[in-house]
Amino acid sequence: MLINCIVYQDGRKVAEIAAEEIHEYLRRPKALVWVAVHDPAAGELEQLQKEFGLHPLAVEDAQRGHQRPKIEEYGDALFAVLHIIEPVDGDFRVGEVAIFAGPNYVLSIRSHAEKGFQEVRARCEREPELLRQGAGYVLYALMDAVVDRYFPLLDQLEDELEAIEQHIFAPAGSPRANIEALYVLKQRLMIMKHAVAPLLEGVSTLTGGRVPALCEGMREYFRDVSDHLQRLNQTADSIRETIATAISVNLSMITLQESETMKRLAAYAALVAVPTMIAGIYGMNFQHMPELSWRYGYQLALLLMAGLDGYLFYRLRKAKWL
């Protein structure tokens, strides 16, 4: 579905046009055609390919989706794929935006994502001096907007991790529930990692020694995006290490709880074993056994059982087995 198709001249908005008119405005000097599409149909994408002269391999990637974040050069044009991550019902939904940027055009194709880039267009229109730089600045603005959306998601993961860490040492905490929560958190973190790490590698091509002609004069802006990605990548690595440590600590807590349970069971077994042993001896039914004919033999046996169990209970309680 076509969202916007707008022509800019010398950094200022000229008019909204139909898709069939794009090729006419591409011939104008210092004109920039910026088209935004959401989940396009096959025929719609083929029409835009003809209007802009897009490379068929890049169009195929944009149409098929599920691409790794990347930035590729096709002649004097750039093709970028970025992941759009949106929180949905406690999980992360991954969409994509494919960006075709040429000398006088920008085409953004958003797939499987609800939030668009209206604020990016508004930002660019408020900064005509920068928009005058052409497609390179629009490419930067779109990438910067996508990367900035990652920060609140990473902050959310950090907050959830802190809450789980508090539950690990809570007396009423459930170790099994903690491990399940940590693994769910790890899966969501990997979604973030898969979006950030490859893009960091791609952006480095726009800030290194050889910069594509489209991005000439915009190197410091893309360096700012690279800095943001490095911060995100380092934070994601730190969270991943903390999750691994938390899982290890939680497993150790489970082992300690099992050890405490075994100690209690062993202590109770010892308390039961003493009277069982005495009763078993007198249950052998030999004719000549001490105290069998004594009037107070039964009471003495009970008193002996209670006394030994009391002493064992005292020693086990002192050793914190009970």
Please tell me the predicted confidence (pLDDT) of residue 161: 92
Q: How many CB atoms lie within 10 A of CB 287?
A: 5
Among 66, 92, 127, residue at a domain's last position: 127
- In this model, does residue 296 exceed pLDDT 90? no
**Mean pLDDT, range 56-61, rounded to an integer:** 90
Model confidence, pTM: 0.79
| Helix (H) or strand (E) segment spanning residue 97 | strand 91-102
Residue 141 belongs to some domain of the structure: no
Among 107, 127, 147, residue at a domain's last position: 127
Return d(Cα 35, Cα 5) in angstroms, integer.
4
DSSP letters spanning 183-217 = HHHHHHHHHHHHHHHHHHHHHGGGTSSS--GGGTT
Please tell me the predicted confidence (pLDDT) of residue 51: 87
Q: How many CB atoms lie within 10 A of CB 25?
A: 21
**Mean pLDDT, range 73-79, rounded to an integer:** 90
Please tell me the predicted confidence (pLDDT) of residue 199: 93
**Mean pLDDT, range 5-16, rounded to an integer:** 89
Residue 238 belongs to some domain of the structure: no
Task: For 238-273, write each residue's pLDDT tens digit.
Answer: 999 999 988 888 888 778 777 877 878 888 888 888
Task: For 298-309, write each residue's pLDDT tens digit.
Answer: 777 788 888 888
Q: Residue 193: which pLDDT band, with cuts at 50, 70 and 90?
A: very high
**Mean pLDDT, range 310-314, rounded to an integer:** 81
- In this model, does residue 100 exceed pLDDT 90? yes
Residue 173 belongs to some domain of the structure: no
- In this model, does residue 278 exceed pLDDT 80? no
- In this model, does residue 45 exceed pLDDT 80? yes
- In this model, does residue 167 exceed pLDDT 80? yes
Domain count, the chain: 2
Please tell me the predicted confidence (pLDDT) of residue 192: 94
Q: Residue 274 belongs to what domain range? A: 256-318
Residue 264 belongs to some domain of the structure: yes
Residues in a beta bridge with 83: 96
Residue 118 belongs to some domain of the structure: yes
Among 73, 99, 127, residue at a domain's last position: 127
Is the separation of the CB atoms in 132 and 123 below 8 Å?
Answer: no
Q: Give me the helices (H) in the chain, please.
A: 22-26, 42-52, 56-64, 118-126, 128-131, 135-148, 150-168, 175-203, 219-282, 297-318
- In this model, does residue 30 exceed pLDDT 80? yes
Share of the chain above pLDDT 70, in %: 98
- In this model, does residue 288 exceed pLDDT 70? no
Residue 106 belongs to some domain of the structure: yes
Domain with residue 300: its CATH number is 1.20.58.340
Q: Where is pLDDT greater, at 249 or 149?
A: 149
Domain with residue 110: its CATH number is 3.30.460.20
Task: Report, in angstroms and rounded to the nearest whole number, the Rg of the chain calculated over CA atoms.
Answer: 35
Please tell me the predicted confidence (pLDDT) of residue 80: 93
Residue 213 belongs to some domain of the structure: no
- In this model, does residue 158 exceed pLDDT 80? yes
- In this model, does residue 210 exceed pLDDT 80? no
Residue 312 belongs to some domain of the structure: yes
Please tell me the predicted confidence (pLDDT) of residue 209: 67
Please tell me the predicted confidence (pLDDT) of residue 286: 67
